[in-house]
């Protein structure tokens, strides 16, 4: 049986690397261009799933199977931004310092007939209490740029995290257990 055509609806090198850990190489990478603004009073879980669905649906119908996802960092019901400025990143890191927060990663698989399969991965992450020097050092690394909540667990921020409850790959941006289950249910051959 041949492997179905798979398009990854993400420009994220982390998602591409993670999907390859399952032994799959996407046939195409087509980033979804959508408005990622949360709706008024939208809950983080609902937002993560909506973003995954919208990204999967934004890629053309001729793309075969489309795999999309989104990662949301939430402090309570507050959705933290994908930080674009150092000021935003500083605010996020200050807010997360010494406390638990939630990282939600949706994964959505759109079949060629348009049907959607989706999963949501939920993780709890706790940062140590960060000193001003630690925040300044992390900001100087530039790892925070474009990252939900202003940090990347696969980089220097991992040394600032006391513990996580959940999936390391989910916090990185593509929960492999859930992704594998969706792909297998759609007929992909995965070891």
Residues labelled as active-site residues: 70
How distant, in Å, are the alpha carbons of 68, 80, 125, 127 from that of 20? Answer: 14, 28, 25, 29
**Helix, strand or coil for residue 157?**
helix
Let me know: does 106 contact 74? Beta carbons within 8 Å. Answer: no
Q: Is 87 helix (H, G, I), strand (E, B) or coil?
A: helix
Closest CA to 179 of 121, 123, 104: 121
Backbone φ and ψ for 92, nearest 5 degrees, come out as: -65, -50
Question: 14 Cβ partners below 8 Å, 6+ apart?
Answer: 152, 154, 172, 173, 174
Question: Which residues lie across from 106 on neighbouring strands?
Answer: 70, 120
């Amino acid at each position: 049986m041949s492997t179905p055509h798979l398009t990854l609806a993400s420009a994220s090198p982390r998602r591409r690397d993670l999907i390859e850990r399952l032994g799959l190489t996407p046939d195409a990478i087509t980033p979804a261009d959508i408005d990622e603004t949360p709706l008024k009073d939208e809950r983080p879980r609902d937002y993560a799933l909506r973003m995954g669905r919208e990204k999967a649906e934004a890629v053309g119908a001729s793309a075969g199977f489309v795999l999309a996802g989104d990662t949301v960092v939430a402090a309570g019901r507050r959705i933290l931004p994908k930080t674009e400025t150092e000021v935003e990143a500083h605010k996020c890191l200050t807010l997360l310092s010494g406390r638990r927060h939630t990282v939600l990663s949706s994964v959505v698989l759109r079949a060629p007939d348009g049907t959607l399969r989706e999963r949501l991965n939920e993780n709890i992450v706790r940062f140590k209490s960060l000193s001003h020097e630690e925040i300044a050092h992390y900001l100087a690394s530039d790892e925070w740029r474009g990252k939900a909540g202003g940090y990347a667990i696969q980089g220097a921020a991992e040394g600032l995290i006391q513990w996580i409850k959940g999936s390391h790959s989910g916090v990185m941006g593509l929960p492999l257990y859930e992704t594998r289950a969706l792909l297998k249910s759609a007929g992909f051959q995965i070891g």
